[in-house]
Amino acid sequence: MSIPNDSLNESYSLNVNGTLREVRDAWLGESLLYVLRERLGLPGAKGACEQGECGSCTVIMDDRAVCSCLVMAASATESRILTVESLGENGRLSDVQQAFLDAGGVQCGFCTPGFIVAVHHLLDQNSDPDDEQIKEALSGNICRCTGYGRILDAVKVAARGRRDGVGS
């Protein structure tokens, strides 16, 4: 990976998905989203607005769901970062991932990883959300294909599974 030729280059490490990852000679202007995608081989977080409006780039940073397009990568060296790639075990789908497929919540799929991360975050805090709580928690994630109906169903399916002790 090449770099712009100026003095604003540094090497640093990021704690991503439980592993310390070295970022070498990176331009300090790079967002966490860019570094995850272009330097660390983790393309799951997507860029669709670059200003924190659409949620496609959602990752978990120290137990908070954040838009990785708004985080300077080099400022995140002290944080624990979890991306969609950390979900599920041994390549198997997480309960939320499976619920999105079962409920028809996936069309083009571009918003999907951001939604999956946001839903995990929601259900980890509240496994029994009502419809309005789901909608509010996910109102920072834009989907242009589904109209949100099948995604609402997917969240409810996943929540029910957790309350019934299935999956997760």
State both tokens at 75. 């400022």
- Rounded to the nearest whole angstrom, what is the least distance from the CB of residue 43 to other proteins in the complex? 4
Among 21, 145, 162, 167, binds other proteins (CB under 8 A): 145
> Among 166, 90, 159, 91, which residue's Cα sits nearest to residue 131?
159
Place of tokens 């028809």: 104
Rule CB under 8 A: is residue 3 a binding residue for other proteins?
yes
In the complex, minimum distance from the CB of residue 108 to other proteins, in angstroms, rounded to a whole number: 3
State the nearest-atom distance from the C-beta of 89 to other proteins, in Å: 12
39 binds other proteins (CB under 8 A): no
Question: Residue 78 or residue 146: which is nearer to other proteins going by CB?
Answer: 146
Q: What minimum distance in Å lies between the beta carbon of 11 and other proteins?
A: 16
Size, binding site for other proteins by CB under 8 A? 62
75-114 mask for other proteins (x: CB under 8 A)?
Answer: --------xxx-xx----x---xx-xx-xx-xxxxxxxx-
Residues that bind other proteins (CB under 8 A): 2-5, 27, 29, 34, 37-38, 42-51, 53-54, 56, 83-85, 87-88, 93, 97-98, 100-101, 103-104, 106-113, 116, 132, 134-136, 138-152
